[in-house]
């Protein structure tokens, strides 16, 4: 590997030092929001599949469109509380929200 290849490879490696994006508060907040969206989406998708329902069936029961369910399950939207309540109700679940001290991840 020559010097040009090494510098190109090094430029593609993510920087994790003090000045990197992951250490910036706004990046950390965006990462946390994405994590929460993913966990919510995964829980809804898993329950839908457990019931043997298609996205269209869930959409009909929750008063949504199939593309809306697909976006939600892909983690592409930040859901509102009313939307989470409709999805939970359609899936026979109860929406429970908890607050925990900072530094602890939600369950």
- Each residue of 35-50: pLDDT tens digit? 989 999 999 999 999 9
Position 32 scores a pLDDT of: 86
Domains of the chain: residue spans and CATH:
24-90 (1.10.260.40)
E strand or H helix at 41, and its extent?
helix 25-50
**What is the mean pLDDT for each group of 10 consecutive residues in the chain (107 residues)?**
51 50 78 90 97 98 97 91 96 93 68
Position 41 scores a pLDDT of: 95
Whether residue 48 contacts residue 58, with contact meaning beta carbons closer than 8 Å, is answered with: yes
Site of tokens 């994790």: 16
Position 13 scores a pLDDT of: 47
Position 26 scores a pLDDT of: 86
């Amino acid at each position: 590997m020559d010097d040009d290849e090494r510098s190109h490879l090094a430029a593609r490696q993510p920087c994790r030092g003090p000045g990197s994006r992951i250490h910036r508060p706004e990046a950390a907040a965006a990462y946390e929001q994405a994590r929460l969206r993913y966990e919510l989406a995964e829980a809804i998708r898993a329950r839908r599949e457990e019931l043997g329902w298609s996205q269209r069936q869930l959409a009909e029961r929750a008063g949504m469109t199939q593309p809306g369910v697909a976006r939600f399950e892909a983690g592409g939207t930040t859901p509102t509380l009313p939307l989470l309540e409709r999805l939970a109700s359609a899936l026979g679940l109860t929406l429970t929200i908890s607050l925990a001290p900072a530094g602890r991840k939600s369950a």
